[in-house]
Structure 1
Amino acid sequence: MSKLFVKNMVCDRCIMVVQDQLEKLGIETKSVKLGEVVTAQELKLEKRQQLEASLEALGFHLIDNKKSRIIEQVKNVIIDLVHYQNNEAKINLSDILSQHLDLDYNYLSNLFSEVEGVTIEKYFIAQKIEKVKELLVYDELSLSEIAYRLNYSSVAYLSNQFKKVTGLTPSHFKQIKEDKRKPLDKV
């Protein structure tokens, strides 16, 4: 059994693409989730190199460095929380990350800032703003429903944060309907 960490897996489609590559290479897996693959058997060097080459051709990268793996895990927890869990958790982000990664939040925070050049909080906010953009483009929820879904204390707070990050108000963004969204791995 091998546990592999894969950079740039940010959505369910990424999981499907990685699974497809594993199947094409005849690599049996126990699980494939955001940023992580558990294989049924230990991978031989040749097979690992084939996997690495096929994944890199698709924009993914195997991560060997411990710090990089931790950073990728932090990003994956945040992406999952914001984009797939509708941010329903009512506990602090610091508690969620500490519990999920079984590491002290101060260590995670300092490491993330050192490696990424941005705080975990700013990264979290950037992900939330991308989710707000997505929901505004879909035009299925009101701004107050979006604020509630993403745990903003008020529509005013969401609007202020949105404007601070994008330079536009949510209503102006919605009016221009330009695709101002970024891919999740570029946030």
Structure 2
Amino acid sequence: MDAEGAAGSAARDRDPSGRAQNQRPRDRLGRPLPHGAEGVPRIPDDAVFTPQEGLARAQELLDDGYAFHAHEVLEAVWKAAPESEREMWRGLAQVAVGLTHAQRGNAEGAARLLRRGADRISDYGAGAPHGVDVLGVAAAGREAAAAVEGAPGAAVDPARIRLRRAG
């Protein structure tokens, strides 16, 4: 590692155990801003959500166009989920990251993650836990993937993702 790389890693934010963290503020699309800049409120790295809290908060964020931040909520639920549900939460988080890439103009990355997330959640089927509409989310994710591939730079609305089954 060169001197610049060593200096850069030494300046990284770290948690009490020395694990690297990024505490820089972020913009609406989740891109890091310089220290001291005003960003949007962040989901803390140590946030814990129950499945119902996570679904509600992630849906609010998606509805407001904050796909990256919805991903952080879904990732927090994934990390605390029982083994039998982890792939579902991981897939939901990947769909949100795919939407983030679409919002940032990265059509290739968006399509890849949207499809990967859709594939990961589809096996849970109509009876997915916590009322999650995995079939609807998977269909919307694949539709968004096709849209960004067909027209790179096409607007993708995160609010089209409905995490819970109707009713």
Shorter-chain TM range is 0.3 to 0.5
**More strand per residue: 1 or 2?**
1
Which TM-score applies when normalising by structure 2?
0.34
